[in-house]
Amino acid sequence: MSGLDVRWVAVVHGVDRTGTLTAIAGVFSSRGVGFESFATTAASEGLGEIVVVFTASDRLQRVLVRTLERLAATRSVLARPADDPRVRAAAVVRAPGFRPAPDAPVTWSAGDHAADGPVLVEGQLEAVEAVVAAARAAGATQVAAMVLPFEEPDEP
């Protein structure tokens, strides 16, 4: 990858059937692009959402999106740079005594009962990742994070 590569998040709306995830993964694999994260949401009414975080040039990202859109198993594809403020994430962190920095631009479950229990953190992807990194540095014993699907298309 070159210095011009960007970290992207793509949300693929796909048909809930055998082979959909394999077809999507194959689009990335056949172009030599790995993914940092590949997660699904629960399918509803025969459709599911697949959220993929990957790194690629702007041109390769456009090729990937166009190829994904042409798959029989997909209904729509939206991609945004990972640093776009509309790209949101949530994480559950279990780190005894951990609290995000007061100025962290995230919302999180708080209260006295949360001091040693799991804490839910939600916000822009990079802000959530910073809180997760801080929690791991503070000795987090469990972390689960997910990029949240986004729905609204870019304005023309």
Q: CA angle, 121 as apex, 145 and 38 as ends, to 5°?
A: 20
Contacts of 111 (CB under 8 A, 6+ apart): none
The pLDDT of residue 152: 63
Same domain, 31 and 60: yes
- State both tokens at 141: 């014993």
- State both tokens at 23: 């077809």
Instruction: Give a yes or no: residue 156 inside a domain.
Output: no
At 96-155, the pLDDT tens digits run: 777 788 888 888 886 544 556 788 889 999 999 999 999 889 888 878 888 988 766 555
Q: What CATH code is carried by the domain that includes residue 43?
A: 3.30.70.260
The pLDDT of residue 1: 47
Domain tally, the chain? 2
Domain range for 93: 88-147
The pLDDT of residue 104: 85
CA separation for the pair 84, 153 (Å, rounded): 13
At 38-86, the pLDDT tens digits run: 988 888 888 899 999 999 999 999 999 999 999 999 999 999 999 999 9
- State both tokens at 152: 């609204």
At 42-55, the pLDDT tens digits run: 888 888 999 999 99
Instruction: Give a yes or no: residue 137 inside a domain.
Output: yes
- State both tokens at 35: 């993914």
Q: Kindly list the distances between the CA atom of residue 139 and the CA atoms of 6, 14, 94, 142, in Å, as whole numbers in the listed order.
A: 30, 38, 9, 9
